[in-house]
């Protein structure tokens, strides 16, 4: 399991994700992570998730809008767990 991005592309995408999910509340879910963010980040997070599917199609993204909150669930197969943690951090 590997991301098809490399070098500068990978560093740029990682930085964009880290900025988009900064300050998120994290919780473990089966095979992944749930991040809770302000709903105002919905467009940015959805765009990044769509772009991520092109280079890392093994990630499963689910967005749930709940009033003032956006819940982003990201799942990966067991052998992609390290990539998930590298990109999104670990549960609090």
Question: Per residue in 63-86, pLDDT tens?
Answer: 999 999 999 999 999 888 888 998
Phi and psi at residue 29, to the nearest 5°: -130, 165
Contacts of 25 (CB under 8 A, 6+ apart): 35, 36, 92
For 40-62, how does the pLDDT look when each residue is reduced to its tens digit (9 = 90+)?
Answer: 999 999 999 999 888 888 899 99
- pTM over cut 0.75: yes
> Count of CB atoms within 10 A of residue 88's CB?
22
Q: Taking 70 as the threshold, does the pLDDT of residue 39 lie above it? A: yes
- 91 by Cβ neighbours in 10 Å (0-12 / 13-18 / 19+) ranks as middle
């Amino acid at each position: 399991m590997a991301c098809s991005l490399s070098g500068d592309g990978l560093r740029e995408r990682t930085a964009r994700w880290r900025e988009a999910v900064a300050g998120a509340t994290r919780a473990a879910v089966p095979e992944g992570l749930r991040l809770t963010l302000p709903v105002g980040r919905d467009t940015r997070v959805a765009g990044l998730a769509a772009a991520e599917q092109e280079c890392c199609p093994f990630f499963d993204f689910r967005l749930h809008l709940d009033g003032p909150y956006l819940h982003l669930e990201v799942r990966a197969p067991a052998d992609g767990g390290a990539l998930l943690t590298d990109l999104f951090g670990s549960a609090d």
